[in-house]
Chain A
Amino acid sequence: MPSQVDTAKITPTLLAIAQRENAAVLAKSLTIDNLNGGGDRIIEIDDIFTPAVTNGVAVPVPTTVERFKYTANQGDQITLGEVELKGVRCLGAMSVISDVDDTSCFISLGYEHEE
């Protein structure tokens, strides 16, 4: 299971798992280290993709679907495992974002591609 770590950011930078067109991405673990963060942080897992051309939509546009949201209180460190993240499945790129940039709040994401 690969993993990535970054500080909390409003826009996804490192914590953006690239889309693999022929496999969904499953979130397996999410650790939010907000022990020294500057405040409560709302952390989201977003699914970013452009749908296929269909008979109903001739010109699809890039789409973001929110798949998971969690509030990490200031001073807390929380690890969410497979049980808590069950069903969090991204069809496109999986990205983790925060409501506020915070260089003291660390986020680690474990993920797998669905075979």
Chain B
Amino acid sequence: MLELQPKPQFSVVVPPKLLQEGYLVTFSSDWPSTHVAIREKTFRIDVCNQVPYDLPYIIPTGDYRDVDFSNGAGTFQESIYPENLTSLFEVLVGFKPGNFLTHWYIPAGKSIHALEYAQMYPDLTSTKKKYLGARQPKDSPYNDPRIKLYFVKDLAPLIMRVFVLPGVDYENCITGLTINKCKLREIESPTDEQKLKAKVIRYYDYLRW
């Protein structure tokens, strides 16, 4: 028997997960005046360089560590932020499997995932609300990360609170980062088409209203 495989009618193109050279980015108008160098401006990405970085922490049950992505020599600071005004760091975050969860704060103490009713914010002392807004390893696996962060110079500290759930004595909470270092070149007068094509990067406050 002879079978002729029909020609496919279409093919699926999966876009790259990370920003690439030549891509355009625009920083929206909701960035504060402290970020005047990028606010409401459009840039072309001239160079990209992906830097993998694993952050492992062995934490006892019921305890947590505040992983601070900002720069500095503090015990919890990981110094992942850019130091140049013309750099944008796009960071993919994935977790190896484990008995832990993460909560996210920016700036420190201000949860990204609070709801609107009073006291509906993540609370590690509450048996229920410790799961409110929690990102678990299955939500962003190490080999298929789904959490993406954008860092620019002098951004407020972003805190990832890594909490080990009951049921184990200790857990090795391994966070895999891929830091896509992007060198930006400003487009002084972007065309409408360029503005339309550019990826819009908004200030974190838009997540809270």
In the bound complex, residues from chain B placing their C-beta under 8 Å from that of A92 are: 58
Most buried by B among A22, A49, A53, A92: A22
CB contacts under 8 Å to A, within B33-71, are 54, 56-60, 62-66
CA distance A52 to B75 in the complex (A): 10
B interface residues (Cβ-Cβ under 8 A, vs A): 54, 56-60, 62-66, 75-76, 96, 169-172, 174, 176
In the complex, 25 of the A-B residue pairs with CB atoms within 8 angstroms, ordered by the A residue number, are: A21-B54, A22-B56, A22-B96, A23-B96, A23-B174, A24-B172, A49-B58, A49-B170, A50-B58, A51-B60, A51-B170, A52-B57, A53-B75, A54-B63, A54-B65, A55-B63, A55-B64, A55-B65, A56-B60, A56-B62, A56-B63, A56-B64, A57-B60, A57-B63, A91-B58
CA distance A5 to B66 in the complex (A): 41
Smallest Cβ-Cβ distance to A51: which chain B residue: B58
CA distance A63 to B60 in the complex (A): 11
CB contacts under 8 Å to B, within A56-75, are 56-57, 63, 65
A interface residues (Cβ-Cβ under 8 A, vs B): 21-24, 49-57, 63, 65, 91-92, 114
CA distance A54 to B163 in the complex (A): 10
| Nearest CB of B to A32, in Å | 25
In the bound complex, residues from chain A placing their C-beta under 8 Å from that of B75 are: 53
Q: A49-B58, A53-B75, A65-B169 are in contact. Are A22 and B64 (CB under 8 A)?
A: no
The main secondary structure of chain B at its interface with chain A is: strand
Smallest Cβ-Cβ distance to A91: which chain B residue: B172
Smallest Cβ-Cβ distance to B76: which chain A residue: A53
Closest 10 CB pairs of A and B: A52-B57, A22-B54, A56-B63, A91-B172, A21-B56, A54-B65, A51-B58, A54-B63, A22-B56, A91-B58
Smallest Cβ-Cβ distance to A89: which chain B residue: B172
Cβ-neighbour of A22 out of B59, B65, B174 (below 8 A): B174
CA distance A58 to B168 in the complex (A): 21
Most buried by A among B54, B60, B62, B75: B60
Contact at A54–B64, with CB atoms within 8 Å?
yes
In the bound complex, residues from chain B placing their C-beta under 8 Å from that of A65 are: 169-170
| Nearest CB of A to B134, in Å | 17
Smallest Cβ-Cβ distance to A90: which chain B residue: B172
